[in-house]
Amino acid sequence: MSIITIKSPQHCATKQVLRIERNYKKIFFTFSTFFTTILLLILLIYFILKPTKPQFSLQELDIYQLNLSGPILNSSIQLTLLSKNPNQKVSIYYDEFQVYITYKNQQITSDSFVPPFYQGQQESNFLSSSLIGNSLPVAPSIGYELSHDQLSGRLSLNLKANGKLRWKIGTWVSGRYRFNVNCVSVVAFGIGNSMNVPPLASNQGALCSTTI
């Protein structure tokens, strides 16, 4: 006598579900392995060709106006900034770039925005900007500091720049990184002379610190 085994529809359905689950797991594992491999490859290339942060130097700074009336300051400053990409195999996209001037940690111009630009390998760019400050409120101590600098014949200003950049290695482009630039410029003029006689110029050049 032969034994006949009859499987119920419910049992067959369970086996079908298990097969589908196994297929999904195989597909998920395959895609996970693929993307993990690509990610590791990108990270490996990134660390092998680890980008060096860009270099900036302030080439020229001209003061056309720096007037203080009580707690209100008006300014007009023209500057030229040199941006250099020191990398041999890495390019840079500057998506956001803005500059402004501070004096004694007080911002004395409005922000000026540099249009987005692409910087190739070991490429340098001159960036010129006109910075204006109209009726800016400043701390009461600024008047004393300006008077003191006028007597000493030296005026120290800080150029601040910040924005977002992306690295380009081959065809791969990184996410955005925020950068900050700080340059110190010392403008010399005759001791006791007025700072309202334009322009006061500093063209000695100044290296800048950059953080990313």
Name the domain count of the chain. 2
- Tell whether 117 and 194 lie within a shared domain: yes
Q: What pLDDT, on a 0 to 100 scale, did the predictor assign at position 4?
A: 47
Examine residue 89 and state whether it is found in any structural domain, yes or no.
yes
Q: What pLDDT, on a 0 to 100 scale, did the predictor assign at position 2?
A: 46
**Which two tokens mark 143?**
């008047």
Residues 195 and 146 sit within 8 Å (Cβ to Cβ): yes
How far is residue 43's CA from residue 21's CA, in Å, rounded to a whole number? 32
How far is residue 78's CA from residue 118's CA, in Å, rounded to a whole number? 23
Q: What pLDDT, on a 0 to 100 scale, did the predictor assign at position 197?
A: 54
Residues 164 and 178 sit within 8 Å (Cβ to Cβ): yes
- Tell whether 59 and 42 lie within a shared domain: no
Q: What pLDDT, on a 0 to 100 scale, did the predictor assign at position 107?
A: 94
Examine residue 28 and state whether it is found in any structural domain, yes or no.
yes
- Tell whether 65 and 81 lie within a shared domain: yes
- Tell whether 176 and 100 lie within a shared domain: yes
* 3-class DSSP state of 11: helix
- Tell whether 42 and 121 lie within a shared domain: no
How far is residue 100's CA from residue 106's CA, in Å, rounded to a whole number? 11
- Tell whether 81 and 154 lie within a shared domain: yes
Range of the domain at 18: 8-48
Specify the pTM: 0.75
The amino acid occupying position 151 is: L
User: Could you tell me the CA-to-CA distances from 64 to 78, 82, 136, 150, 199 in Å, in that order?
Assistant: 8, 21, 16, 15, 5
Q: What pLDDT, on a 0 to 100 scale, did the predictor assign at position 157?
A: 93
- Tell whether 75 and 157 lie within a shared domain: yes
Residues 137 and 197 sit within 8 Å (Cβ to Cβ): no
> Could you read off the pLDDT tens digit of each residue along the chain, which spans 212 residues?
445 444 555 555 555 555 656 666 677 667 677 777 777 666 666 655 578 999 999 999 999 988 888 889 999 999 999 999 999 999 999 999 999 999 999 999 999 999 999 999 999 999 999 999 999 998 888 888 988 888 888 889 999 999 999 999 888 898 999 999 999 998 887 655 555 556 777 766 677 999 99
